[in-house]
Amino acid sequence: MQRINLYTSFLCTCSFILVCCRSISKLKCYTYFLYTYFKMITISRNYFLGSMQLLVALAGTVGNLLVILLIFWNPRLLKNNHYYLVLHLAICDLSILVFTSSEINNAFTGRSMINSPALCKLWWPTHTVFYNAGIFFMVLISIVRYQAVLKPLEPAVSRCKVKVLAVLVYVLSTICVLPYVLVLQFNYKSGCVEMWPMQLLNIFYTSALSAVQYFIPIVLLSIVYWRICIVLAKQNRKMKLLCGPLHQENLSPYQRFRQYRNVRTFFASLTVVTCFAVTALPSQIIYILSTSNVIEFPWYYFWFHVLNSFGVSAVNPFIYGTLDRKLLSSFTKRMRKVLHVALTSKVT
């Protein structure tokens, strides 16, 4: 009986061990399945986000290149201060989109293009320089429009002063990123990372940079365009009082053209500023909160980065091309010439 009891306990122990092994193997299978499932979701999500960023970059690159070429091909536009600043804005937007190629490559391949200390010190700081410069040029464009609407009879700002302002914009944008350049460090394990001596300095710099590249420009742009809107409304009321109910029929051709041009150019610039204000706000807030350790840096930030690239850099040329009459007419004339040359070459 004692032997039977020992034998029975041995069998029970072996069967318990087998059940445990099977359950462990099943648990391993389930764990591996979940790991594979979530890994596939992450890969598909990265591919989708990378595809979205690639489409935004391609569309913005084509649009900004067209704006740059149209202004260069038309000497009248190039002599105008407004379009000279729009040219610099398009150059900045194009450069921003070019530097997003690192994120697109990372989304598709999982590897970073920044693989050396020199690229670490140059890539993202240069991207930030053009980002800041584009915003500063938007402020300058609003000031030029403000002067053109409020003081139409006074001579425009000389081209020499506008060039000096453009140089100052790039210099100021470069000064803003110098602390960023100093703290960037590269190592082959973690890549290009920021190494701040104190977290308080990181919080202060991030907040100051957000103020310079977003919050202060938004306040200035809002004030300037609000003033322009008031002036245009007053001009419209004066024309109605002077000319009566049928004031549009009594206006001279020059007055009609000037009124139409001011409203259309104002609307184009205002649309660009509105897109910038709406699409750049989430990224700025996430940067400040994550740097201050209020929240962890979220995985969905890349969505807001794609939105930021779209609203700040990619959509601008299409807004100017659609709402700006001179750019639109210049584009249609150039396309007619291209089509005419293509058709005549086929005929011959």
Query: Dihedral (C-alpha) 229, 233, 234, 239: value to the nearest 10 degrees?
Result: 140
pLDDT per position as a tens digit, 271-280: 888 888 888 8
Please, which residues have CB within 8 angstroms of residue 156's CB and are 6 or more apart in sequence?
81, 144, 147, 148
- Give CA–CA dist 37/10, Å, rounded: 40
pLDDT per position as a tens digit, 76-122: 888 888 889 999 999 999 999 999 888 888 878 878 788 888 888 99
What the block records as the tokens of 199 is 């977290």
Residue range 325-332: average pLDDT?
73
Higher pLDDT: 271 or 209? It is 209
The whole-number pLDDT of residue 33 equals 39
Closest by CA position to 141, among listed 270, 230, 261, 274: 270
CATH class of 26-347: mainly alpha
How many Cα neighbours within 13 Å face the side chain of 61?
12
Phi, psi of 80 (to 5 degrees): -80, 130
Q: Is the full-model pTM beyond 0.85?
A: no
Closest by CA position to 57, among listed 123, 108, 102: 102
pLDDT per position as a tens digit, 165-202: 999 999 999 999 999 999 998 888 778 888 888 889 98
